[in-house]
Amino acid sequence: MDPPAAGPEIEFEHRISHRLDVLGNRQASQLQGLGEVGYLLYGSGHVHGITWQGESLVDLERDALHREVRRQLASTTAEPLIRQLGWDSAGRLTSMQWAALRKARACLTCWTACRGQPRPQRRPRPARKAPTGRARALASRHYHYDSLGQMVGIQSPAGMSRFAYDAAGRLTGADTPQAGQQRWRFDPAGNRLPIAEPAGNPGAGDVITGALNETDRQRTQQRAGREATPVSREQMARSDYNALQGKPEQGGHLEDWAATAKWHGNRVGYYENSEDASSEGARIHYRYDSRGNRTESVQGMAGKARRKMELAYDKGNQLVQVVVHEKDDGEEEEGTQLTQRYRYDAFGRRLAKYSNAGNTGHASNLGHMGHKDAGEESGTTDYFGWDGDRLVHTERLNHGNARDINGQSQPEIVHTVYEPGSFTPLVQLRRAARAAPGMADDLIAHLPAGMARDALRAMLTDINATSALLNERIVGLGMAADAQSFINAQRQEFEETARSERQENAKSVEVRHYLCDHLGTPNALFSSEGQVEWAATLDAWGT
């Protein structure tokens, strides 16, 4: 009989296993290439601590209602990193204070999203730093609410941020230290639109206080009168009539997009925000396919396109390719092109991203989504691993990665630990290269795939439970004393070796902690020394 045909080579595989208690609460998680994360529980499953490789990572204190009031993070300095939370009688968060945060250092990752910084370009730039005083601004926040429970103010060392809402509870205005005063209105379909401020400085009565003031009411009435468009009975009787469809506007910035309608079919035809200084007066035009997917966006000014993005989708409306063409000012034909391709699993979760940058040219064909193109071997590949609907594992491969003794490129591994039962990130573990296989991994690898391998993996993962079970079995079998001593000595030697391997591997892993706002949105990422390594400035809408 001919041997069975070998299957396709596995390009990427992610494995994460969990140990549960009798109530189904997660007690520990075995991460791929990064050891074990443990959860210390009390009562019906409330978490009061998180460990990594047996060492304390996060310690939590809770009040009588099991709400978190204090968090102490693992720190390599004498002064611990501590977060304290305050709550009111209605269960709303009123304060968040951090201790031992230090000044920000250079942001070494490409994730920096500080407001007002230029978009990364192909020319090398010096390392950028987080905004001045950012660590101080993140260290303390106090939250204020109105009688309806809407958040109307956030007090921080950077200043006071105020928010206003309409009768439907929609955000209509914000006054923040970073962006100043901003106002929005909504069309009949609920689309958010900016409001251009009148010339001159706003008066004292025009300050956003959390409710509509007299100036807001007058502007609303004047705007409604200017923009009111009478609708005839004949128009309302037509099944194809769309009250939101604007007329084509001539004289756009780009000649071939001049006739783009702004709200054709209740879709954004173009966007232009004169209030946003970073846009430099540019207009962004959009195109869509018959299924409503955005297929193209062109950003330009003065009749020249500076940035063009093309998007392609599969039959399931999943984004499978993005091609970005970009030109600097003064360039006529030559420019940069970045091509990114994506793969998904059966649940619609993204599994891989292939990136390849080069000179402007034609986009590569989508081809078979199960394999990489030859040109992508020289680019960057990101693989993603999931724990349910939470993205927890990322492996990045490129030419700059560390290499093993055989010259093979080793992936950079980043794992995110979330707050139990939520989508709020808590800790990031990063390793520049895959760790060398330990004694337990070698033992498992020599077994054929099947129940025996899975059983041995579970035994070696929870070595304490395995040791207790062995002791119980040894006593139950009535072994001779010398046999018991020999088995116990072998077990202790294995435990010591495994512990030494964990401690050695832990030295090459960087631990970073997330600083999130009241909604769970990450605002900063800082090291175990308390240094802010990445910080983001978000607008009132969280972008």
Residue 481 has pLDDT above 70, yes or no: yes
Query: Exposure of 491 by Cβ count < 10 A (0-12 exposed, 13-18 middle, 19+ buried)?
Result: middle
Residue 222 has pLDDT above 70, yes or no: no
Instruction: Give the whole-number percent of the chain exceeding pLDDT 70.
Output: 59
Residue 363 has pLDDT above 50, yes or no: no
What pLDDT, on a 0 to 100 scale, did the predictor assign at position 118? 36
**Tokens 């929005």 belong to residue:** 184
The mean pLDDT of 354-378, rounded to a whole number, is: 54
What pLDDT, on a 0 to 100 scale, did the predictor assign at position 476? 72
* Distance from C-alpha of 20 to C-alpha of 424, rounded to nearest angstrom: 21
The mean pLDDT of 359-373, rounded to a whole number, is: 46
* Distance from C-alpha of 477 to C-alpha of 116, rounded to nearest angstrom: 72
The mean pLDDT of 61-89, rounded to a whole number, is: 90
The mean pLDDT of 289-301, rounded to a whole number, is: 85
Kindly report which listed range (32-46, 323-337, 442-456) carries the lowest average pLDDT score: 442-456
pLDDT, greater one: 133 or 182: 182
* Distance from C-alpha of 39 to C-alpha of 19, rounded to nearest angstrom: 10
Nearest to 396, CA basis, from 100, 176, 109? 109
**Tokens 């004498």 belong to residue:** 78
Q: 541 — alpha (psi -120 to 50), left (phi > 0) or beta?
A: alpha
Which tokens belong to 455? 């059983």
pLDDT, greater one: 215 or 457: 457
Mean predicted lDDT score pLDDT of the chain: 75
- Count the neighbouring beta carbons within 10 Å of the beta carbon of residue 150: 15
Q: Give the model's confidence band at 148: pLDDT under 50 very low, under 70 low, under 90 confident, else very high.
A: very high
* Distance from C-alpha of 360 to C-alpha of 302, rounded to nearest angstrom: 22
Query: pLDDT tens-digit profile of 400-414?
Result: 665 555 556 678 899
**What is the model's pTM?**
0.71
Residue 309 has pLDDT above 80, yes or no: yes
3-state secondary structure 290-301: CCCCEEEEEEEE
